[in-house]
Structure 1
């Protein structure tokens, strides 16, 4: 029996109203101006890039200028000759995003403007891992950041909290390294009066490296080691959504120790910063000092146990990363979070395993190096995530001004 085929009319069959067309063209134009790493662009270049007429571009540009979303960058020339053009770029005042992050030793808050420039960065030592005091401290940091932004004519339009674990609807479902389960972090920050998102720190670190790192980075995996080990993935300049990123809970040793997540043999138990530091048991874990900094100090002191632990961690990381690279074709592995501070002792061991295990490595070498933004990537990515809502669609901001 043949099943009936139910077809859904494509979106092109739906009529576009005049106001929808105007909103679409405004988004199209603004994205050309606000593109990551893009130089100021002239009105004539906008017309050529979007296919819109000069009068339409002029009207949209005037509206964006009046709303304070863009600004003129001064005279410039497209080439060696011709009339000077006036460039357009995102404004350094107006909408801004707020990022919040929980690290192994500090809480951090960051504000970025529409250009992606960091305008405020604050740190408070971590004194507890319990949800209530952590979220209360973050709320206080957020209020101070909002006030600092306002003093620079910036309006924080949203906040994003980076956490080491899977999140659903603002609830941290399980963060083994923190000991959090079903914590409504979004609800705790709701009194800020802003839209608040909660997302995985590794995904946000990858977003930070994409928009705030090096412009040529378009295909990469960012492996972050701080509380937990996570991996954010960017393909062709787009962050992969729906990607769990919990590489720290991939099994790398069948006879490995029990993990806080309930499984055994996880990468976290071999390559997590806490596991590396545990190789020197007489050194107590200090909440006020990053474990990466403590590890670095032990290396500087020449302790052979920490060097052995780092080599074992690099091997375990190489096994897990190789499995990922056999599934996804990227040419760069960034070591983020605390790993960025320890890259000198990790890259060789990771590279050794990658060359052994990744099928394409023989003819397509994979670069392994520290992440440009280092430990700040997650909080910067969180702030960029918040302001990116305006960058993707400025119509809601414009509607609020009317």
Structure 2
């Protein structure tokens, strides 16, 4: 698109870089470098890596330390002279992550180093949105009270449904919630901070893509499956979760496995969720829901026919649904989360082999299947990471 008054062949007009803009960029570059570093860098290390003068790097680091965005730590004595001070992401900066699941509420406070510094997990029965969110807000306030002087910079909320950019939950079939102003109801938790609302599968995928705020994981492109009572999914490309035009990308649980299959809460039939969701696996295996993750693989290994049937159902349904996604998006790495992360290696290999048979590009790039990190509150952790993202990207706002 050509701006009004411009000609298609004209070069963009040069834009002057204000001193404040340069400072903001340099602060962001320093924080990004500290967050991704394997070893705590010194001021001199940062100056060399970022092509800054030592004086500039030192002055900006001092600002970040004063604001608690960065912490100084002692490093081991070198060959000569005094040991340089190393720099780590600040422990005084905290993001609050909240998550609603069908049977529990979770709240996590996470600092810039990715450490959990406060947590609440409580059971929750199905109920109307306002009462459940009021209970969640109470738990969040309890966690906030225990932060002991740490600086809260934001609140993220993860929900099992479709969320718009204004923090409104449009639909969550497994909660039976529709058109809920989540950000408005939870505004008191955030105080002066905006409450950021997102899909729970997207937030669980964010933790896989970014195990610590500002530090990318080993895979930058993958399809993530988040399995609980419902089944969510996310597509991660270039280390970023793909939201889609309306924030509904990655609804893997509602990819059709069999059009003539059982009815789904979303209104369709034969959705993946009806074959690999917790209710479905528990029904076929005969296991209680709270034992599916720990008991399914053991039962199948022991020859229990119902567990064997459940494993076959999961293997078939996942290979059909994931092959469609992998063929469309062209990403050949898959991460299984929730109770699917407890599948035994033989089942994981069977899923991978069936995907290879269905994915057109597998001859050149075989599909990789692995399991998630095992964070029992991955969505809440991801929501906290999202709340912290602004500090990593725009630290000048917080200095």
1:298 & 1:106 partners in 2: Cα distance? Answer: 26
SS class of match (2:363): coil
Which of 123, 132, 135 in structure 1 is aligned with 2:133? 135
SS class of match (1:128): coil
> 2:57 is matched with which residue?
57
1:81 & 1:223 partners in 2: Cα distance? Answer: 51
Is the 1:105–1:290 Cα contact (8 Å) retained in structure 2? no
Distance 1:330 1:284, change over 3 A: closer
Distance 1:141 1:346, change over 3 A: farther
Q: Does 1:279 align with 2:280?
A: no
TM-score for both structures, normalised by structure 2? 0.87
Is the 1:166–1:175 Cα contact (8 Å) retained in structure 2? yes
Query: Equivalent residues in 2 for 1:15-164 (5 A)?
Result: 15-35=16-36, 38-76=38-76, 84-93=83-92, 95-149=93-147, 151=148, 153-164=149-160
Deviation, 1:212, is: 2.0
2:11 & 2:99 partners in 1: Cα distance? Answer: 41
Query: Equivalent residues in 2 for 1:260-271 (5 A)?
Result: 260-271=265-276
Query: Equivalent residues in 2 for 1:234-383 (5 A)?
Result: 234-242=236-244, 244-279=249-284, 289=290, 292=293, 303-342=304-343, 346-383=347-384
1:196 & 1:8 partners in 2: Cα distance? Answer: 43
Is the 1:340–1:375 Cα contact (8 Å) retained in structure 2? no
Deviation, 1:138, is: 0.7
Deviation, 1:220, is: 2.4
1:8 & 1:373 partners in 2: Cα distance? Answer: 54
2:202 & 2:53 partners in 1: Cα distance? Answer: 39
For each residue in 1:82-101, what CA deviation from the matched residue of structure 2 results, as whole angstroms up to 9, or x when unmatched?
Answer: 974321111212x2111111
Unmatched 5+ stretches in structure 2? none
Stretch deviating more after TM superposition (231-240 or 258-267):
231-240
Is the 2:157–2:198 Cα contact (8 Å) retained in structure 1? yes
Distance 1:308 1:203, change over 3 A: same
1:47 & 1:302 partners in 2: Cα distance? Answer: 61
For each residue in 1:63-112, what CA deviation from the matched residue of structure 2 results, as whole angstroms up to 9, or x when unmatched?
Answer: 1112121121212478x88974321111212x211111123432111111
Distance 1:351 1:300, change over 3 A: closer
Which of 169, 173, 191 in structure 2 is aligned with 1:172? 169
Aligned residues: 386
Is the 1:204–1:382 Cα contact (8 Å) retained in structure 2? yes
SS class of match (1:123): strand
Unmatched 5+ stretches in structure 1? none
1:230 & 1:43 partners in 2: Cα distance? Answer: 43
Distance 1:8 1:145, change over 3 A: farther
Is the 1:338–1:375 Cα contact (8 Å) retained in structure 2? no
SS class of match (1:369): strand
Is the 1:335–1:343 Cα contact (8 Å) retained in structure 2? no
RMSD between aligned alpha carbons?
Answer: 2.9
For each residue in 1:308-361, what CA deviation from the matched residue of structure 2 results, as whole angstroms up to 9, or x when unmatched?
Answer: 123112211111112222234445321112222345575244223212112233
Distance 1:123 1:170, change over 3 A: same
1:240 & 1:327 partners in 2: Cα distance? Answer: 14
For each residue in 1:28-65, what CA deviation from the matched residue of structure 2 results, as whole angstroms up to 9, or x when unmatched?
Answer: 22211122x63211222211222222211111011111
